[in-house]
Amino acid sequence: MAAKSELDPKVIEAAKTLQHTPWCDEYEKMISGMMYDPLHPKLMEGRHRARCLAHKLNHIDPSAQPMEKFHEAQADILKDMVGRFGTGSFVEPPFLPDYGCNVSIGKNCFANFNLTILDVSLVTIGDRVQFGPNVSIYTAGHDTSVLSRIKFVEFGLPVTIEDDAWIGGGTIILPGVTVGKGSSIGAGSVVTKNIPPYSVAVGSPARVIKTLPTVEQERADPNNPYNQMVDRE
């Protein structure tokens, strides 16, 4: 894992579709994977905004209102916190993002307690993705050069989790990783490399131990018991 040497037009265009981004030259470097200055005032403001919203989200009193209002209040804060928040998605507090604005969450996702996302670069979560408790997603990276830390520069690489993935509790996903569509990651795994679609991966580092049928194959199987259940969408 190493920093990039130039801006990434694809990542920059994707970031333009997100809300509340602290746009500046250092932000473009940051999301592109280049070395950048995290103490730039605009970036510090962006992190402060995320801290304020996270505190608000994580300290709502559930006993102060009916369940429906409680969930609506959570969703309203999340819609303001993250870059994109899909309908039907739910995140159990505490939720701890770095910027929040660099996170895109698709439809009908569920995240259990204590999801931590260091979204220095973009984190793109597809539809119907589920997270166990204590999952950490890191886009932030540092060079092994001691001088880079003395100079206080760092970099980040994007993370993508595609539709219908399941991330087991305690999993750590490292910078630059894509978890393929329909894949399952075993609890406690450390994902250091891309996981192909429809795979089961476990361990540290996570390795593929099984290939799964596609959702199209499952739907075509008359003996699959889940075909008797009604889709949530």
- Provide the residue ranges of all domains of the chain, joining segments of one domain with +: 9-181
Dump pLDDT digits (tens) for 13-61: 999 999 999 999 999 999 999 999 999 999 999 999 999 999 999 999 9
φ, ψ (nearest 5 deg) of residue 36: -145, 170
Tally Cβ neighbours within 10 Å of residue 28: 18
| Residues forming the active site | 142
Q: What is the pLDDT of residue 143?
A: 86
Q: What is the pLDDT of residue 233?
A: 65
Token reading at 113: 């307690």
Q: What is the pLDDT of residue 204?
A: 96
**Per CATH, is 9-181 categorized as 3.40.50.10860?**
no
* Cβ density class 87-110: b for 16+ within 10 Å, e for less: eebebebebbbbbbbbbbbbbbbe
pLDDT band at 112 (very low <50, low <70, confident <90, very high): very high
- Give which of 180, 58, 48, 49 is closest to 111, Cα–Cα: 58
CA distances 126 to 2, 61, 86, 89, 109, Å, are 26, 29, 9, 11, 8
Cα-only R_g, the chain: 18
3-state secondary structure of 84: strand
Tally Cβ neighbours within 10 Å of residue 52: 11
Dump pLDDT digits (tens) for 151-205: 888 999 999 999 999 999 999 999 999 999 999 999 999 999 999 999 999 999 9
Evaluate whether 58 touches 94 at the Cβ level (below 8 Å). yes
Evaluate whether 161 touches 124 at the Cβ level (below 8 Å). yes
- Give which of 163, 225, 147, 222 is closest to 198, Cα–Cα: 163
